[in-house]
Amino acid sequence: MTTTRKCSVCGKQITEGYVFDGTDCFCSKECATAFFDNDEGCVEILIDEGDRLVWNDALPTPPHYKVNIGCADTNDFHYCDTWQKVLDWLNSKVFATIKGQRDIDAYNEQHKLSQISILIFNPKEYYQNRKPYVESVQKCDAIMRRCQCVEKSPKRNRLFRDFSLTYDYANYLWYMHPEVWQGEI
Q: What is the pLDDT of residue 109?
A: 94
Q: What is the pLDDT of residue 3?
A: 76
pTM score above 0.85: no
pLDDT tens for each residue of 125-140 = 777 888 899 999 999 9
pLDDT tens for each residue of 137-157 = 999 999 999 988 888 899 999
Q: What is the pLDDT of residue 23?
A: 76
Are 26 and 59 contacting, i.e. CB atoms less than 8 angstroms apart?
no
Question: Domain coordinates of the chain in residue numbers?
Answer: 5-56, 64-121, 123-180
**CA neighbor of 87 nearest in space, from 65, 112, 106, 62:** 65
- Percent over 70 (pLDDT), the chain: 94
φ/ψ region of 21 (left if φ > 0, alpha if ψ in -120 to 50, else beta) reads: left
> C-alpha distances in angstroms, 130 versus 12, 122, 162, 177?
34, 12, 21, 9
> C-alpha distances in angstroms, 72 versus 12, 15, 77, 85?
38, 37, 8, 21
How high does pLDDT run on average in the chain? Answer: 87
For the chain, what is the radius of gyration of the CA atoms?
A: 22
Residue 75: pLDDT band with limits 50, 70, 90: low
